[in-house]
Amino acid sequence: MNCPRCQKPLVPGHLTEHSIFEKVQVCETCKGTFIGAEDLVEVEVQHRAALFEFHHVPDAAAQQQPLICPACEITMGKVTSERDAKVVMDLCPKCHHTWLDGGEIEALQTESLLHNLVSLFRSKRS
């Protein structure tokens, strides 16, 4: 399989830094990740607190370019993350795998201290 962004070969990779299981396919060039639906859920439930959030995701124009699923070779659909509006994921309508551009996994998992404080304040007001 090749990367839908830069067409370089995808290699087996780890979902998290400390994982021993190779659950995903990654592009060593652009740092994108091809991930199954069940593993995407695992990414979305992980939270990493940070003092500030720094997003290193592609710009909006690049994220809107149509991508071809590395497995099915059909055009993937665009889905904006509920967790971070700057993350536009590419979802295959056939195999339900998702392409996350380099930096998007980290953006989904990281929440700033300010965001956590605002969320806490809002929940106490309700």
What's the pLDDT at 118? 42
Divide the 126 residues of the chain into consecutive groups of 10 and give the mean pLDDT of each group: 96 78 90 90 61 63 93 96 85 96 82 46 56
DSSP 76: P
Report the b/e string of 87-126 with b at 16+ CB within 10 A.
bbbbbbeebebbbbbbbbbbbbbbbeeeeeeeeeeeeeee
What's the pLDDT at 14? 84
Domain boundaries, the chain: 10-125
What's the pLDDT at 122? 56
What's the pLDDT at 115? 46
What residues are paired with 94 via a beta bridge?
Answer: none
What's the pLDDT at 116? 43
The residue whose two tokens read 């990414």 is 43
| Alpha carbons 101 and 114: distance in angstroms, whole number | 25
What's the pLDDT at 38? 85
